[in-house]
Amino acid sequence: QSVLTQPPSASGTPGQRVTISCSGSNSNIGSKHVSWYQQFPGTAPKLLIYRVDRRPSGVPDRFSGSKSGTSASLAISGLQSEDEADYYCAAWDDGLNGGVFGGGTQLTVL
């Protein structure tokens, strides 16, 4: 069981807006910044969002992040077939004094 809870799967059609949730607690999401990663099979993860809603250079503005209380969300607008990948949320946890990842969400573009 991961400390951060994500739905195992999500799906959408091209052009649609999809949201992936990440639920935590006061010791992680509730008090810390959240990051989001995209991973394709057999490759290293890629940072999509950091500090809740900031995008590294090169990440399209179709990807956005938000946080409310102890939950965070990743939104992908204008869904494209190449967005089909696994997505992970991550945050520092003060109680564990370590980092935690969500279990990951497999996004399917129908």
Partner 1 sequence: EVHLLESGGGLVQPGGSLRLSCAASGFTFSDHGVNWVRQAPGKGLEWVSGIGGDSGYITYYADSVKGRFTISRDNSKNTLYLQMSSLRAEDTAVYYCARDIDWLSFDSWGQGTVVTVSS
**Least distance (Å) from partner 1 to the CB of residue 33?**
6
Residue 2 to residue 28: CA distance in whole angstroms = 12
CA quadruple 74, 75, 81, 82: dihedral sign: negative
64 beta partners: 75
Give the tokens for residue 4: 């951060």
Among 17, 78, 96, 110, binds partner 1 (CB under 8 A): 96
1 near partner 1 (CB under 8 A): no
Cβ 20 vs Cβ 105: under 8 Å: yes
92 near partner 1 (CB under 8 A): yes
Cβ 31 vs Cβ 49: under 8 Å: no
2 near partner 1 (CB under 8 A): yes
104 near partner 1 (CB under 8 A): yes
Residue 47 amino acid letter: L
User: Restricting to residues 11-70, which ones interact with partner 1 according to CB under 8 A?
Assistant: 32-33, 35, 37, 39, 44-47, 50-51, 56
Point out which residues bind partner 1 (CB under 8 A): 2, 32-33, 35, 37, 39, 44-47, 50-51, 56, 86, 88, 90-92, 96-104
